Structure formats: structure tokens, C-alpha cells
Amino acid sequence: MIRRSLQEIVQMTDGTELLNKSDTIHELSVHGVSIDSRTIVPGNLFIPIIRLDDGHKYVQQAVEKGAAASLWQIDHGPPPSEIPIILVDDTFRALHTLAMAYRNQIPSKIIGVTGSNGKTTVKDMISSVLGTQYKVYRTYGNLNGEYGLPLSILEVEEGTEVVVLEMGMNNKGEISILSKIAKPDIGIITMIGVSHLSTLGSREGIAQAKLEILDGLNPEGTFILNGDESLLIHELEHRQLPETLRMITFGVETSNDYYSVGVEFTSSGLRFSTNKHDRPIRLSLLGSHNVLNALITIAVADLFDVTAENMQQGLLNLRLSSMRMERIQSEKGFLIINDAWNASPISMNAAIDTVQSMEGYDKIIFILGDMLELGERERLYHVEVANSIDFSKVHAVYTYGEISKVITDTLASSGYSGVAKHFTSKAELADECNQILGINDVVLIKGSRGLKLEDVCSMLG
């Protein structure tokens, strides 16, 4: 994590003054940054952000927990006197400025990953594979936005060789800001979906927003994108890219730089080859969509000269972030597939296709929640989810949330002979599911983040 003297922090934040000095001020330094007084550890720099609440109210609490210094926004009146204070015009912008300055001081190679789906999986895959040969840091949890990404950068230890950063967004312009802070050497767009249609209006708008990763990308770096996505290719045709920027495409079509060959589905995961590597690749992950995620990872591994043995080891030893097609064996014997971190039409259909294709189970059960932020076509997208369910394989479909009732209503009107029921209570949903789950069954749980369907996961069994 960042370790700098207070005088250096003043310069790195464009601070105007250092208050509450002592005789030993030049000997003082900070290590680490927090914007939450509850997470302060001794020696941290506290940055009081103004969001739903005003962080300036918690500077005293940060002091009591051992903060070494705090920023203070000039327009907030007299600062406290118990701690060294660095005055700044805007604490939020100072967080960005500090992260940008620190990024410029560390020699790490930065990899930025964005896209409508697959960001976290790709981040985890790349980190696992490169971690076999390099010292790697990756974004943890959901620290991928305008607050989280700069905090992630400030957590990087000096001496780290590769940093893998996830870049999330809700609105136009946000990826541009993140890219300019991180200045990635490798920029990746996993795919373009329909998440955020409610704010960006169209898939074209989403593609344009994701392409903002180019705004801070090293002009002598590498840009990796899905070559099957015509929206991206079309947008790039109208852009003047640096001649020194290398582009690598991946996808299903053989016109891409990286594509898969001979994909096989096994009970434990996937097996496939690529046009670049003769040796078959094994993945202990479910879902054909993970082949594309692996192709991105293989392309990055080749850029870093990772050996074939280490590449395979990294993919097999992969530990995904929780709630991403997470396999949980219940005490009663049935299998839970917890994919409750988020949901979009593409990821929902991918999860459904994967689980209903699993063989050897007595019953397949779906617990599906709302897909949010889809704009005026949200109802249609939920109808399409219902239509993707194989009536001959799925025993029961339970839905939760306001919009997902469309799924069970569509099933009921389509001749589905299984159980199709909507719930407004997670507890009642879990109770009914527990009544039909047997020792050799599998249940998929998936919905948008706002529903927190992992609560249902904890009630099963």
C-alpha cells in the first residue's frame, strides 16, 4: 500500500496547506488510505468523502482509531486540531489525484478490464495465471468504480509487477475517468450486453461507454476486445487510434486472433484447444461463456510469456470471487450453484443453459430474480429468459422480485408442466424449495445485486 510522508501527500493531492504541525511533522508518514472511519487502521490517511453522508463528521472517529492524518475540504469550516490536516479543494477529486500520482510512481504493469459481463471472472483468471510467474495484485470485492478503483491502486505494494483492475460503470464518462487514473498498459473489453440500458439508452451507447477505456490506455500498450462484437468494430472504424497501439481480438469466429477449437463439456468443467496452443486447456468452471473468458486470459498470458505449464496450473487453481457460478454442496447432499452477484439477460441465459445441461441430477431447480437497469424493454428480456428454459429438464422455477414475475407468468401460459411460482418473501421461497430438494438435485440461484439472493442460498439445506 502507499507509504509516503505527509509532505509528499500534500504534493500528491494538490493540497494547499498542512495544518496542526508538530516538531516531528517531517518525520510523520502515512501508510494506506481509507474513506470509511470504521475501517481505519493505525497510520492510515483518512479521506472524508461527501456522498450520502458527509465524511467530515467522522474525522474524530478516524483519529480515535489511529489515523495519522486526514484531508479536509476547504469549504467545510475550521478543521479539528487533534490530527495533521491537509487542506484540499475537493476531497473526492483529491482521492483521484492521489491515486493518479501514486500510479505514476509505481512501475507495475496495469491491466484494466471492463465489459458488460465477465469482468470479475477475467480479472480472477488473469491474476491466477500471471500469479504463477509474477507478483500480482488484483481488485478485491467490488472496488471497481470511481471510489473503489483509486482505493485499489493505493493498496498496491511497491514491488508489485502486475496490477489487474476491474473497471465498472453506471453512466457515460465513468470508464474514461477510471482509465485516466489507472493508465492501463493493457485494456480489455470482455463483451457488450444490455446492462445499463436504462442510463445509456442503447447497446451502441454501452459500446461507446466501454470504449472509453482507450482514453487512458498506454498508446504503446495492447487493446484486447471481442472481435465478434460488430458494435465495437464499427465504433473503432471511426476512431483514430495510435499506430503504436497493438490490438488483439478473441471470439468464436476464426477471423479472430484467438479462438477456441473442439470445446468439450465434462462433469467437472471444460476442455478445449486454441488456434495458438496445441496443448488442450482444461477449466474447472461451468459454462461455455468461460471459454471466451479463458481466451482473453490466454492472450494476456502470451503477452507476459507465461509457460504452457504455468498457464494450465493457473487456470486449474483458479478461485473465483464468491457468488459467480459458485458450487456449494449442501449438508443434505444437493448442489447449489450460487450466481447471485448480478444478472443481465446474457449472463442469466448463460447460467440457465449451463445448469439445465448438467447431467446426472434427479431434479433441476431455478431460483431467479429481477434483472435490473434494462430500461423500457425489461419485460421483454424477462420473457426471453422464460423462453430459454428447457421444459423437459427443469423441475421447478421460483422467482423473486417485482419484474421476475413475468418469467413465471410466461411459463404458466406456455404449457410448462413443472412448478412455476413467484414469491415476495425470501423465507417462504426457501421453505418451499427445501420441501422439494432431494439429495441428488441441483439448484441455480441468480438475480441482480439489488435483490441479494445470496440470502436465499444461506436458507437452503
Per-residue pLDDT of the chain (461 residues; tens, 9 = 90+): 999 999 899 999 999 877 776 655 556 789 999 999 999 999 999 999 998 899 999 999 999 999 999 999 999 989 988 889 999 999 999 999 999 999 999 999 999 999 988 898 999 999 999 999 999 999 887 789 999 999 999 999 999 999 999 999 888 999 999 999 999 999 999 998 776 666 676 888 888 999 999 999 999 999 999 999 999 999 898 889 999 999 999 999 999 999 999 888 876 788 999 999 988 999 988 788 899 999 999 999 999 999 999 999 999 988 777 777 888 888 888 999 999 988 889 889 989 998 998 888 999 999 999 999 888 889 999 999 999 999 999 999 999 999 999 999 999 999 899 999 999 999 999 999 999 999 999 999 999 989 999 999 889 97
Question: According to the model, what pLDDT value does residue 420 have?
Answer: 95
HEC string of the chain equals: CCEEEHHHHHHHCCCCEEECCCCCHHHCEEECEECCHHHCCCCCEECCCECCCEHHHHHHHHHHCCCCEEEEEHHHCCCCCCCCEEEECCHHHHHHHHHHHHHHHCCCEEEEEECCCCHHHHHHHHHHHHCCCCCEEECCCCCCCCCHHHHHHHCCCCCCCEEEEECCCCCCCHHHHHHHHHCCCEEEECCCCCCCHHHHCCHHHHHHHHHHHHHCCCCCCEEEEECCCHHHHHHHHCCCCCCCCEEEEEECCCCCCEEEEEEEEECCEEEEEECCCCCCEEECCCCCHHHHHHHHHHHHHHHCCCCHHHHHHHHHCCCCCCCCCEEEECCCCCEEEEECCCCCHHHHHHHHHHHHCCCCCCCEEEEEECCCCCHHHHHHHHHHHHHCCCCCCCCEEEEECCCCHHHHHHHHCCCCCCEEEEECCHHHHHHHHHHHCCCCCEEEEECCHHHCCHHHHHHCC
Question: According to the model, what pLDDT value does residue 267 have?
Answer: 64
CATH of domain 3-90: 3.40.1390.10
Question: According to the model, what pLDDT value does residue 173 have?
Answer: 94
Q: Is CATH 3.40.1190.10 what the domain over 106-316 is classified as, yes or no?
A: yes
List the grid coordinates of 75: 469549504
Question: According to the model, what pLDDT value does residue 25 have?
Answer: 55
Q: Which residue intervals of the chain bear CATH 3.90.190.20?
A: 326-459
Question: According to the model, what pLDDT value does residue 24 have?
Answer: 56
Q: Which residue intervals of the chain bear CATH 3.40.1390.10?
A: 3-90
Amino acid at 129: V
Beta-carbon contacts of 287 under 8 Å, excluding residues fewer than 6 positions away, are 270, 325, 350, 351, 353, 354
Question: According to the model, what pLDDT value does residue 405 have?
Answer: 96
Q: Note the maximum CA span of the chain.
A: 80
Residue 280: how many CB atoms within 10 A of its CB?
A: 13
Question: According to the model, what pLDDT value does residue 118 have?
Answer: 87
pTM of the model: 0.82
Q: Which residue intervals of the chain bear CATH 3.40.1190.10?
A: 106-316
List the grid coordinates of 180: 485516466
**Listed residue (12, 31, 218) closest to 107, CA to CA:** 218
- CATH says 326-459 is which class? alpha beta
